[in-house]
Amino acid sequence: MITLSTLITGFVLFLGGHCALALFHPTRTKRPSERHATALLLGLALVPALVIGLVLAIGPLGPILARALALALAVGGTFALFRTRECNKAKRAPLRLPCNGEEYFGLIGFIAILIFGAFIVFYTATMPMHIFDPVFHFAYKGKLLYSEGLMTSSWMDVEDSIGRVITHPDYPPGVGAIEALCGWLGGTFSEDAARPLFALFALAAAAFLFGTLKDLGRRGSWLAPVTGTLMWLAMPFLYYSRLPHKDWGKGVYGLFFGPDAAEAKYGSTIGPKGPIAGEWSMPDGWTLDGAGDLPLAALFSCGFIILLRFVFAKRDQRDTADILIAGTLFGGGALMKNEGLALLAVAAVVFGLTWLLGLLRGAKQDAEGSRLMIPFAVGLALVVALIVASPWLAVRADIPTIGEDYPSRLSPSGLAESWNATQAVRISRVTSEVAQVPVPRIVAGGFADAFTHIPRFGLVWILFLASVLFGLARPKRLLYSPALPAALAVVGACALYALVLFVTPWNLDALFKTAIPDRLIFHVAPLAIFASILIIDSTGERE
Amino acid sequence: MNGLPSKAPSLLRYLLPVVILMTVFPGAFGALYTRTWLDERQGKGIDQQRASIKGVPWFKPEFRGLVKRLKEHLPEGTGILVEPHAVDEKEAQPGGRTRWFLYLNYYAYPLRIYAYEPKLASGTLVDYTPWIDHHFEALNIDNSLQGMSASIKRDRLLKDADKQIAKRDIEWRLTYPISQSFRMENVKLYHREDGAWAPVAIPAFAALADSIFAANEAGL
């Protein structure tokens, strides 16, 4: 539901981001869509960091302090917004709508983007928060921040034979910080009032992709921005993760005509306890319900692209603000989900490889600038990320870890053990029959299912694979393209997640029922779209 | 890193129509969702909306009723020890949807929900079975295990539990059967009186809770 506090919090996040953007003093002129999207992403990263830092320092903010903070951010942001608007007025030509015959699909696509953008807001505003993770892993931390702060007995008292209940106490509280702020501004905590704010992550990433691909695609063409943005906003996984029924034909029919109509046409599925009627009794939709996956996907992917633009820019066009913005978004991502820290490591390795490749090929940008510019920029971005995430990182080690201490499990012996291990997998829904299957095969099967699940991801992953193969067929062009580091980051993140699933203490069969590994690969979906579009858009260019 | 010059046709011109075509999946979902919303939830308050969503255990009216009653009559911060007292015969392998203590922990907040072995209680589904076993095998909560060793182990654990309960000033205990369905008549409430748990009938709960609260407020 959209309440006054939802609207005020949304504006505070947006204007707070503009305030930060002005402080970073960017020199690169941005399209309005990219500028506002960058500001919103900055707000979505920095404001939670600020809230967590303040809660750590002085305890729950309460309505008065929160409203004072909101007012300060709003005033500063409004001033910054008008100032940058004046600066940009003279520099940009007005946007031309795609109206020539060649690009009329661009116009249709653009209208579809607007429709899906509106639907995201409607969807988040009209559905109560109802999925396990968003409520119990994330919103609960929002309640704790709102009422009692960090590091209280609610977070810590899990070590004795009797104690408090808290799922994943060491999950970062960035999502909860947004919900707590919305609660203070409205005077009462409500996860349902905060739910529409998660639409902002999807919309900001969409506007950012649009602006960036408009800049990086063919000049004057709407093909790249419209295709990329539509692939993101129309990715089914944003809205639902399961078809109404597990049987494909029945599931797809149910999606189009309703689960009951599918039931009537195909008959009931018989499960171990009898007929399974109306399997899809609710729309699920992990991403927009308030879990950390969408925030991480938006912040990490956009941060990576911003840093990529700095690294690949000509020396005189490099904007130091891009490093600070990218670092802030990375830090914000680390506050949304623990995987944000792992993705930081992936980014560091990928940019390291990019630098080495540049040195090997004697790239122009290195000849023009310092050879150490890239490592310096990436190092600075990582430092900024750690500073942004520091309010949480400062206390995280003291908060108990329950069950999922992955770093300690990712040892050679742990991996070797998992390589030879087997787990029970249910092979029939009708008889509850299970079979022991090797863990590597379960993990590989889970990823293969996710990558090829078209009703869930549309063409995103198939297109990514095709574009990478296409790029590899023209290695020289790929070597010089920013699509290469983006694609490497996608592959690296997926490989890292596969390793983590290898050693997870979870039963994989049970875990995969909660839309894993789909929720993991979703973290780099915007980056995969970006890389695919760049590679495909370069078709027809001479190598 | 500038835009590419437009020299030759981009494959995107063929891809975009396909991408537009693929919007039928989320488009169908959007249409179905909107229709459901119009039919079932439009114009309803948040509680009614929650009640209309099927398949979410913590939206079940009886559960919401219990939460409402507890929050109305117990002061903020009151500690409640929540434990399963039986396993529904239908639950051969209790699934995640039977974790009522987790739902209560969120929705009854700021009441403080406590559990035995909180690490297992807070863990993944893999930890859920050992958590249940702890109640029925180690704590022998339903007295189903006989024999000296079970009795000694149980007494030792309960002695430690008494200390932990006193340390945390837990005054209430709520027990429920492990089951996907939630029935108020299957929930049992106890109040701690002189170190022992005295059963309180749910209908009498409100009056008792109010009188205890009033007595505490008056410093009796």
Secondary structure of chain B in the HEC alphabet? CCCECCCCCCCHHHHHHHHHHHCHHHHHHHHHHHHHHHHHHCCCCHHHHHHHCCCCHHHCHHHHHHHHHHHHHCCCCCEEEEEEEEECCCCCCCCHHHCHHHHHHHHCCCCEEEEECHHHHHCCHHHHHHHHHHHHHHCCCCCCCCCHHHHHHHHHHHHHHHHHHHHHCEEEEEEEEECCCCCHHHCEEEEEECCEEEEECHHHHHHHHHHHHHHHHCCC
Mean pLDDT of chain A: 88
CB within 8 Å of A342: residues ≥ 6 apart = A493, A496, A500
Of residues B25, B125, B160, nearest to A455 (C-beta): B25
pTM, entire model? 0.93
**A115-121 average pLDDT score:** 97
Q: Which of B6, B10, B163 to mutate to test the interface with A (most CBs of A within 10 A)?
A: B10
What are the chain A neighbours of B15 within 8 Å (beta carbons)? 227, 463, 536
**A304-312 average pLDDT score:** 94
Cβ of A227 within 8 Å of Cβ of B33? The answer is no
pLDDT of residue A231: 97
Nearest to A341, CA basis, from A293, A385, A286: A385
Q: Which ipTM score applies to this complex? A: 0.92
**B22-49 average pLDDT score:** 91
User: Does residue B20 register a pLDDT over 80?
Assistant: yes
Cβ of B157 within 8 Å of Cβ of A161? The answer is yes
For chain A, say whether B158 makes contact (Cβ under 8 Å).
no
d(CA A163, CA A171): 19
Cβ of A128 within 8 Å of Cβ of B50? The answer is yes
pLDDT of residue A543: 45
Q: pLDDT tier at A282 (50, 70, 90 boundaries)?
A: low
User: Does residue A316 register a pLDDT over 50?
Assistant: yes
User: Does residue A329 register a pLDDT over 80?
Assistant: yes
pLDDT of residue A474: 86
- Give the position of tokens 């009522």: B100
Residue A17, both tokens: 């981001």
For chain B, say whether A256 makes contact (Cβ under 8 Å).
yes
Give the least confident one: A19-23, A279-283, A525-529, B136-140: A279-283
What are the chain B neighbours of A168 within 8 Å (beta carbons)? 122
Nearest to A50, CA basis, from A392, A394, A395: A392
Q: How far is A345 from chain B (nearest CA, A)?
A: 24
For chain A, say whether B129 makes contact (Cβ under 8 Å).
no
d(CA A138, CA A153): 17
Nearest to B33, CA basis, from A265, A486, A542, A285: A285
**A180-205 average pLDDT score:** 97
d(CA A232, CA A342): 23
Of residues B10, B30, B36, nearest to A540 (C-beta): B10
- Residue type at position A421: A
For chain A, say whether B11 makes contact (Cβ under 8 Å).
yes
Q: How far is B143 from chain A (nearest CA, A)?
A: 20
Give the least confident one: A184-198, A423-437, A493-507: A423-437
CB within 8 Å of B29: residues ≥ 6 apart = A236, A239, A240, A255, A283
Q: How far is A384 from chain B (nearest CA, A)?
A: 24
pLDDT of residue A100: 58
pLDDT of residue A233: 97
Q: How far is B118 from chain A (nearest CA, A)?
A: 5
For chain A, say whether B88 makes contact (Cβ under 8 Å).
no
Give the least confident one: A268-272, A296-300, B189-193: A268-272
B172 compared with A85, residue with greater pLDDT: B172
pLDDT of residue B7: 53
pLDDT of residue A541: 56
What is the strand order of the sheet B196-200 is part of? A162-164, B112-116, B79-87, B170-178, B188-193, B196-200
Nearest to B60, CA basis, from A282, A268, A76: A282
pLDDT of residue A281: 56
User: Does residue A277 register a pLDDT over 60?
Assistant: no
- Check if the beta carbon of residue A453 is closer than 8 Å to that of residue A518: yes
Tell which A residues from 27 to 46 touch B, by Cβ distance under 8 Å: none
pLDDT of residue A272: 56
Q: Where are the alpha helices (DSSP H) in A313-404?
A: 320-336, 339-361, 364-368, 373-396
CA A181, A182, A186, A192 torsion-angle sign:
negative
Half-sphere exposure of B35 (CA within 13 A, CB side): 11
Of residues A1, A143, A234, nearest to B46 (C-beta): A1
Per-residue model confidence as pLDDT tens digits over B60-93? 989 999 999 999 889 999 999 999 988 876 766 7
Per-residue model confidence as pLDDT tens digits over A396-454? 999 998 866 677 777 888 788 888 888 888 776 666 677 888 889 999 999 999 999 99
For chain A, say whether B115 makes contact (Cβ under 8 Å).
yes
d(CA A465, CA A467): 6
d(CA A89, CA A184): 37
For chain A, say whether B12 makes contact (Cβ under 8 Å).
yes
Per-residue model confidence as pLDDT tens digits over B126-185? 889 899 999 888 877 777 767 777 788 888 888 888 999 999 999 999 999 998 888 888
Per-residue model confidence as pLDDT tens digits over A27-39? 877 788 899 999 9
pLDDT of residue A367: 47
Cβ of A163 within 8 Å of Cβ of B114? The answer is yes
Q: How far is B149 from chain A (nearest CA, A)?
A: 20
pLDDT of residue A509: 84
Tell which B residues from 22 to 61 touch A, by Cβ distance under 8 Å: 22-30, 32-37, 41, 46, 49-50, 53-56, 58-59
For chain A, say whether B161 makes contact (Cβ under 8 Å).
yes
Nearest to B192, CA basis, from B217, B162, B152, B218: B162
For chain B, say whether A166 makes contact (Cβ under 8 Å).
yes
Q: Which of B15, B37, B63 to mutate to test the interface with A (most CBs of A within 10 A)?
A: B15
For chain B, say whether A505 makes contact (Cβ under 8 Å).
yes
A333 compared with B151, residue with greater pLDDT: A333
Rank A187-201, A345-359, B77-91, B187-201 by mean pLDDT and report only the highest: A187-201
pLDDT of residue A408: 73
3-state secondary structure of A471: helix
| Pair type for strands B112-116 and B170-178 | unpaired
